[in-house]
Amino acid sequence: MPKQYQLIGGKPVLRLTLEAFATHPLITKTITVIGEGHDDLFSRASQGLSAAVRGGSSRQESCRLGIEACVGDAPDLILIHDAARPFVSHTLISAVIAKLGTAEAVIPALPVADTIKEVKDGVIGRTLDRSALYHVQTPQGFHYAKIRAAHERAAKAGENQLTDDAAVAEAAGMKVHIVPGDPRNRKLTTAEDIAAANRELDNSMDKPDIRVGSGMDFHVFEVGNAVWLCGVEVPHSHKLKGHSDADVALHALTDALLGTIGEGDIGTHFPPSDPQWKNAKSAIFVAKARALLEAKGGVIANVDITILAEAPKISPHIPAMKAALVQMLGISADRIAIKATTTEKMGAIGRKEGMAAMATATVRLP
């Protein structure tokens, strides 16, 4: 999976990046440049925080297309940021915007602390003066009309290998100023970077309020040829009876999530008497419960689901169910448990009259 959609702290990298900009008071709109075939990944990660435009064959071309997508909004200023820098702060965003009051182009930068050598064929040629060298970061800020014209000029001139937008501005003769960068505003590039960022967020104590919710649901069988479980269609001799798709596992999970924040049960938010929920996918119910949790600043730490049924056989479908829940909940697969058991032929479930599910959700809140 592309790094911008990898999960850290239970959220996609891109989601964290978008939240930083969407919650800044001076940002009016965000547009994300995405790759071919990334539409579904982007939709799940962005959760409506950003519009999207298809990118090009290079970083420079992708940025130009993103800039062109802003034409209809006629912005005065534009910030261009790496999606894989999720730790950008409001302070840094504000500093770049403020500097644009007196400069035509601004980038954050950190002075180089290490000695830098110029090497050719494995041999040091010379030692560079590090006092004039800086590590460059994003967001890079520009006056919109000027950077748009600079990108158009570079494209027409066939200059297509410039590595950042500041280089495009420099090639057009613009003076690029710097503001102090932020060491935390690092770019996640390798698998090790992703793992370290995940550990950092998981160990954060800004959400020390640990809560646990539970849910249980039952549905009887009726004539049909498949049942829905955790968002996956499982072939069977019957289907489950219900106003929605009767996904007994997701119904139990929805109640568990709602229970962590005292928001009633699934019937409170989605009454079976309401015709709009007729045959609705139960993933909608989970999404609502997740949105209510996130509105309170909460994150899902773990979910544990047990399905009770004599038939159909559940275990072959568990990998697909976990994959579906990864996307619904925005957490990694190791935070999801799905188990199945029978009732040893006891009771209504033992007589194959229906199915039941129990779910437990653990969440962290501020």
Look up residue 168 and give its two tokens: 């495009």
Query: Pairing state of beta strands 117-120 and 123-127?
Result: antiparallel
C-alpha–C-alpha distance, residues 236 and 232, integer Å: 12
Distances, alpha carbon 238 to alpha carbons 206, 243, 283, 309, 354, in Å:
47, 16, 21, 13, 9
C-alpha–C-alpha distance, residues 128 and 44, integer Å: 45
Single pTM value for the model? 0.61
Average pLDDT per 10 consecutive residues for the chain, totaling 366 residues: 88 94 94 94 92 94 96 95 96 96 96 92 93 94 97 92 93 96 94 89 70 96 94 94 92 96 89 82 93 89 96 93 90 91 93 95 90
Q: Is the dihedral of CA 111, 170, 54, 287 positive or negative?
A: positive
**Where in the chain are all domains bearing CATH 3.90.550.10?**
3-198
Query: φ and ψ at 176, to 5 degrees?
Result: -105, 120
**Where in the chain are all domains bearing CATH 3.30.1330.50?**
209-365
* DSSP structure class, residue 266: H
Can you give the length of the chain in residues? 366
Residue closest to 343 by CA, chosen among 307, 295, 319: 307
pLDDT in tens, 35-71: 999 999 999 999 899 999 999 999 999 999 999 999 9
The whole-number pLDDT of residue 243 equals: 82
C-alpha–C-alpha distance, residues 56 and 153, integer Å: 17
* DSSP structure class, residue 230: T
Give me the chain's average pLDDT, please.
92
Question: In the chain, at which residue ranges do the beta strands (DSSP E only) sit?
Answer: 7-8, 11-12, 31-34, 51-54, 77-80, 105-111, 117-120, 123-127, 134-136, 140-143, 176-180, 209-223, 226-229, 232-235, 238-240, 299-308, 336-341, 354-365
Half-sphere exposure of 23 (CA within 13 A, CB side): 11
pLDDT in tens, 202-244: 765 466 789 999 999 999 999 999 999 999 999 999 999 988 8
Domain 3-198 has CATH 2.70.98.10: no
Region 209-365: CATH code = 3.30.1330.50
